[in-house]
Amino acid sequence: MVSISGSKKLKRQMAPQFWGINRKNNRFVITVRPGPHKKESSIPSAVFLRDTLKIVSSLREAKTAIYSGRVKIDGVIRKSLHHGIGLMDVVELQDVPEIYRLVPYEGKILKPLTIKESEKNKKIVRVKNKNTIKNGKTQIGFHDGRSVISDVKVNVDDSCLIQIPDMKIMEVLKLEKGAQVLVTRGVNAGKIGKVETIEPGTFILPKRIILDLEERKIEIPSDVVMVIGKEEPIIQIK
């Protein structure tokens, strides 16, 4: 009988580079199952422990750690080997003092960054969509698959600083001229720039941002940047 949620394994040669796996060991590696993040932009929790952080040496050890509830993602215990860990997710490991946030770095989509304990309950999420529902409330959908019903005024492509795991919106970060943004994909992934202008989308072209990035200006689609603050990042990014 075929699983409706797709295969549990992936050929190592097809795995994204940012997973950090050895491509010559065995033929297959476990993969991300459907969840909060896209498969091509997230890391399976077992691969994260074994190959990215290298705190366990085998899949069996990773299974023991995960199934015993030693892994928290955004403050919630996750017991799936295939749970996708993605952009801005906060990872805590039992008996390990370091706390990690997944951020883009030097052209890589994701890299674990060690953060302060005071920041483990904070996370920036990008507003992906919003809908008006019953009683005039607004349902806001974020890049990590979460959604929240709120009266907060926010637009698509803005960011929100939220408290995890209870999803309380602490601050809205507007995508506007002068805002500090983080490039999340592409050759400039991990770089921080300042918004110069915002070009509205057309029938052919998506909404675009003119970005002042390291003494040069680039034009980039709005969906590959995330607002992280006004004058400087509101949380630890580097």
Q: Please tell me the predicted confidence (pLDDT) of residue 215.
A: 83
- State whether 198 and 154 are in the same domain: no
Residue 216: which H helix or E strand, with range?
A: strand 216-221
CATH number, position 69: 3.10.290.10
- State whether 13 and 107 are in the same domain: yes
236 in a domain, yes or no?
Answer: no
4 in a domain, yes or no?
Answer: no
Expressed as residue numbers, the domain containing 156 is 122-173
Q: Please tell me the predicted confidence (pLDDT) of residue 177.
A: 94
Q: Please tell me the predicted confidence (pLDDT) of residue 172.
A: 95
20 in a domain, yes or no?
Answer: yes
The strand order across the sheet containing 159-163 reads 147-150, 138-142, 122-132, 159-163, 168-173
237 in a domain, yes or no?
Answer: no
Q: What is the DSSP letter of 2?
A: -
Q: Which of 69, 91, 116 is the last residue of a domain?
A: 116
Number of domains in the chain: 3
The 3 state secondary structure assigned to 55-115 is CCCCHHHHHHHHHCCCEEECCEECCCCCCEECCCCEEEECCCCCEEEEEEECCEEEEEEEE
CATH number, position 198: 2.30.30
- State whether 50 and 110 are in the same domain: yes
pLDDT profile of the chain (238 residues), mean per 10: 59 72 72 85 92 91 95 95 94 95 90 94 95 86 92 93 93 95 92 93 88 90 94 91
Q: Please tell me the predicted confidence (pLDDT) of residue 5.
A: 55
Q: Please tell me the predicted confidence (pLDDT) of residue 100.
A: 97
Q: Please tell me the predicted confidence (pLDDT) of residue 23.
A: 67
234 in a domain, yes or no?
Answer: no
